[in-house]
Amino acid sequence: MVDLVNSDSKNQATEHRPRHSITEAENVPLIDLSAESNLVAEIRDACKKWGFFQVVNHGVSLELRRSIESAAKEFFALSAEEKRKVKRDETSPLGYYDSEHTKNVRDWKEVIDIAVRSPITTPVSADPDDQELKELHNRWPEYPPNFREACQEYALEVENLAFKLVQLISKSLGLPENHLNGFFKDHASFIRINHYPPCPNPDLALGVGPHKDSGAITILAQDDVGGLEVKQKADGAWIRVEPAPDAYIVNIGDIMQAWTNEIYESVEHRARVNSERERFSVGFFFGPAHYINVEPLKELINDQNPAKYRPYNWGKFTATRRRSNFKKLDVENIQISHFKIAPE
């Protein structure tokens, strides 16, 4: 990890400090997915006001969740040498990496990325004229021996939850329940298991800096340590998302923002670190197939509400992101804003 105790740059050390006040007076909505009434309306309200919500009675086995959390703790307890046997590289984003090997050196964490469906088919390059594809395979650690099985079984159940949530979101937009399902026929989703070690100076670092998710939706399991903060749309205040027992946190991503033509918006969030306790979380990033062109749904645009985004290819978008991230290029990372149509 980066040495934050002897930092020689005051400006760098403070760049991640909060710029907005933290409030615990509100929390993101908690939605019971087993409810028989008002469920779609609750999803609609949460997506419009917050872009975030928590769900309970979600159908994911508590035993499987505990299994992947236990396997994650065993993996991250291994030596750095052992973990780096499955490290990611410029050819594949799947595998292990830590904050010493990223551009965001003040992010205080280590992760391992696992494809939900392996192999993932993806474009070789970000060049729009290059149609060559390649397959990305998971890099499974040898230890703990149950790591692969725990991840695969867990992924299947959260995948089912992801489809259920997308169907509810579709209904909340006044569209048929299965309207968005086709985008995910060959989805390129992945699981990111995060470990945030105790940080000696938590005011000088973040587990993850402020960002928005580029996919369709994210489903996050966080432990009882907590640390996730959401930037409130109404006033820009940072809201601490208090962990609810066995709940999942769901947030709208940039793809959903484009599909809905900003009816629902992706929201900035970050993760704080703890000075005394390590923190674990497991994120499920639900994204479409590489060949999908993302653009506002025709059912949601008209003369009074014209499309706000140009179409962009999801596979090429992610290939461009990888080129910037893994080669550590000194260029701006591609964002959904690059495809925003300027108002006439």
Hey, what domains does the chain have and what are their CATH numbers?
Answer: 47-339 (2.60.120.330)
Q: Is there a contact between 288 and 216 (Cβ–Cβ < 8 Å)?
A: yes
For residues 34 and 31, give the distance between their C-alpha atoms in angstroms, rounded to a whole number.
Answer: 9
Q: Is there a contact between 150 and 71 (Cβ–Cβ < 8 Å)?
A: yes
- Looking at residue 282, what is its pLDDT? 97
DSSP for residue 84: G
What distance, in Å, lies between the first and last C-alpha atoms of the chain? Answer: 48
Residues near 138 by beta carbon (within 8 Å), at least 6 away in sequence: 94, 95, 114, 115, 118, 119, 148
Phi-psi region of 220 (alpha: psi -120 to 50; beta: other; left: phi over 0): beta
Identity (one letter) of the amino acid at 160?
Answer: N
From first to last of its 344 residues, the chain has per-residue pLDDT tens of 544 434 333 333 333 333 334 444 468 999 999 998 999 999 999 999 999 999 999 999 999 999 999 999 999 999 999 999 999 988 888 999 986 655 444 578 999 999 999 999 999 888 888 999 999 999 999 999 999 999 999 999 999 999 999 999 999 999 999 999 999 999 999 999 999 998 877 776 667 888 999 999 999 999 999 889 999 988 899 999 998 999 999 999 999 999 999 999 999 999 988 888 999 999 999 999 999 999 999 999 999 999 999 999 999 999 888 776 555 444 457 889 999 998 86
- Looking at residue 23, what is its pLDDT? 43
Of the candidates 296, 301, 338, the one whose C-alpha atom is nearest the C-alpha of residue 316 is 338
Residues near 135 by beta carbon (within 8 Å), at least 6 away in sequence: 119, 120, 121, 122
Residue pointed to by tokens 């409810």: 35
